[in-house]
Amino acid sequence: MMMINKKQVRIGMVGYKFMGKAHSHAFRDIPFFFDTEVVPVLKAIAGRDEQGVRQAAEKMGWDSYETDWRRLIERNDIDVIDIVTPNNTHAEIAIAAAKAGKHVICEKPLALTLEESVQMLEEVKKAGVVHMVCHNYRFAPAVQFAKKLIDQGRLGRIFHIRATFLQDWLMSPEFPLIWRLRKEVSGSGTLGDLGAHIIDLARFLVGEFDEVVGMMETFVKKRPLGEMDMNLKGRAESGKWGEVNVDDASVFMARFENGALGVFEATRFSRGNRAGNRFEINGEKGSIRWDMENMNNLQVYLEEDEPGLQGFRTINCTEVEHPFAGAYWPAGHIIGYEHTFINLLVEMMNGISRGFSPSPNFEDGVRNQMVLEAVEQSVRTGKWVKLSEYV
Ligand code: SOE
- Give tens-digit pLDDT for 180-203: 999 999 999 999 999 999 999 999
The count of C-alpha atoms lying within 13 angstroms of the C-alpha of 339, restricted to the half-sphere facing its C-beta, is: 22
Mean pLDDT of 2-31: 93
Q: Best substitution site from 133, 191, 193 to test ligand 1's pocket, by max atoms within 8 Å of Cβ?
A: 193
pLDDT-derived band at 358 (thresholds 50, 70, 90) equals very high
CA 92 to chain centre: 19
For range 116-137, the mean pLDDT: 98
Q: How confident is the model at residue 237 (pLDDT cuts 50, 70, 90)?
A: confident
Mean pLDDT of 41-46: 98
Report the residue among 165, 194, 269 best suited for mutation to probe ligand 1: largest number of ligand atoms under 8 A from its CB: 194
pLDDT at residue 276, rounded to an integer: 98
Say yes or no to pLDDT of 305 above 90: yes
What is the average pLDDT across 80-96?
A: 98
The predicted-structure confidence for 253-300, as pLDDT tens digits, reads as follows 999 999 999 999 999 999 999 999 999 999 999 999 999 999 999 999
Read off φ and ψ for residue 295, nearest 5 degrees.
Answer: -65, -15
Kindly indicate the confidence band of residue 346, based on its pLDDT and cuts at 50, 70 and 90. very high
| Per-residue confidence band for 142, with pLDDT thresholds at 50, 70 and 90 | very high
Q: Compute the distance between CA of residue 91 and CA of residue 365 in angstroms, rounded to an integer.
A: 12
Ligand 1 center from residue 116 Cα (angstroms): 21
- Report pLDDT for 168: 98
* Mean pLDDT estimate for the chain: 97
Which pTM was predicted? 0.97
User: How far apart are the CA of 236 and the centre of ligand 1, in A?
Assistant: 20
For the chain, the three-class secondary structure string (H helix, E strand, C coil) is CHHHHCEEEEEEEECCCHHHHHHHHHHHHHHHHCCCCEEEEEEEEECCCHHHHHHHHHHHCCCEEECCHHHHHHCCCCCEEEECCCHHHHHHHHHHHHHCCCEEEECCCCCCCHHHHHHHHHHHHHHCCCEEECCHHHHCHHHHHHHHHHHCCCCCCEEEEEEEEECCCCCCCCCCCCHHHCHHHHCCCHHHHHHHHHHHHHHHHCCCEEEEEEEEECCCCEEEEEEECCCCCEEEEEEEEEECCCCCEEEEEEEECCCCEEEEEEECCCCCCCCEEEEEEEECCEEEEEEHHHCCEEEEEECCCCCCCCCCEEEECCCCCCCCHHHCCCCCCCCCHHHHHHHHHHHHHHHHHHCCCCCCCHHHHHHHHHHHHHHHHHHHHCCCEEHHHCC
8 Å CB contact between 190 and 268? yes
Q: How many A from CA of 190 to the centre of ligand 1?
A: 9
Superfamily of domain 140-358+368-381: Dihydrodipicolinate Reductase; domain 2 (3.30.360.10)
pLDDT at 86: 97
Q: What is the mean pLDDT of residues 241-263?
A: 98
| Residue 184: exposure state from Cβ atoms within 10 A (0-12, 13-18, ≥19) | exposed
Which residues, judged by CB distance below 6 Å to any ligand atom, belong to the binding site of ligand 1? 167, 193-194, 197, 275
pLDDT at position 385 over 80: yes
Domain spans, the chain: 7-137, 140-358+368-381
Contact 179, 192 (CB under 8 A): no
| Separation of CA 56 and ligand 1 centre (Å) | 20
Please tell me the predicted confidence (pLDDT) of residue 391: 86
- Rounded CA separation 198/54 (Å): 35
**Residue 207: what pLDDT?**
98
pLDDT > 90 in the chain, percent: 96
| Cis upstream peptide for 330 (omega within 30°) | no
Confidence of residue 238 (pLDDT cuts 50, 70, 90): confident
Distance 153 CA to ligand 1 centre (A): 32
Say if residue 153's pLDDT is above 60: yes
The protein residue with its alpha carbon nearest to ligand 1, atom 10, reads: 194
Q: Ligand 1, closest atom to CA 107?
A: 8
Using the predicted structure, report yes or no on whether residue 2 has a pLDDT greater than 90. Answer: no
Above 60 in pLDDT, residue 132? yes
7-137 homologous superfamily: NAD(P)-binding Rossmann-like Domain (3.40.50.720)
